[in-house]
Amino acid sequence: MEDELKGLEIKNMTDTTADLYFYGDIVSDWWGAWQAEDQYPDAIKNFLSGADGKDLNVYINSGGGSVFAGMAIYNMLKRHGEKNKVKIYVDGLAGSIASVIAFAGTEAPEIPSNAFLMIHKPWGAVAGNADELRKMADDLDKVQGGILNVYENHLKEGVTIDKVEELINAETWMDGKEAAEYFNITTADAKEYVAAVGNYLDRIGAKAPQAYKNRE
């Protein structure tokens, strides 16, 4: 059971509610988990099975990871939300594909003024000939379209998806107040949280703001 639930931190499981933490990278499976906090779809599936019929509080402090793993988790949480309340809290960072998971709730996510939402273009590594490299670029554009489809469902009134695509192309970091200018988000006063996040963004060299770089 311990191996099966690697990557999950479960607290305050009651008869009616359960708390789920995304405090590491989003990876494809158990073998890709570099640290105990990393999450993957099969672990989330097992967690949701044990939380059947319960409302969820979901806490995010993650730089992202695998797009397809994150999309699978997003869709699983959305299905859970068809019968239960799912509330999302961004404790520190919802970056890359974790920013998609942030919108999996049944209501607007809560992002304090000292927490971040980061959106950017999907990326990948490929080796091959010119045709294969061009196909990879086309595939990444399609993946970006899927991410945009999620964001489009959560835009603030008057904001166009074309504007959000500009933000994605530029790799944009937003604190809670800034994110609320573009998305349906509940903002909150700055809060103090335990700093715990995977090193996904460090590995890809994202243009993190100084406030993120100075995290402890």
The β-bridge partners of 55 are: 17
The β-bridge partners of 139 are: none
The label of the residue with tokens 């996510």 reads 109
Q: Which helix (H) or strand (E) holds 95?
A: strand 86-95
Please indicate whether residue 120 is annotated as part of the active site: yes
Q: Is 20 exposed, middle or buried (0-12, 13-18, 19+ CB in 10 A)?
A: buried
Which candidate in 62, 66, 120, 154 is catalytic?
A: 120
Which candidate in 62, 96, 99, 154 is catalytic?
A: 96
Please indicate whether residue 96 is annotated as part of the active site: yes
Query: Which is nearest to 195 in space by CA: 39, 24, 6, 35?
Result: 24
Query: Which is nearest to 85 in space by CA: 165, 137, 17?
Result: 17
Which positions are catalytic?
A: 96, 120
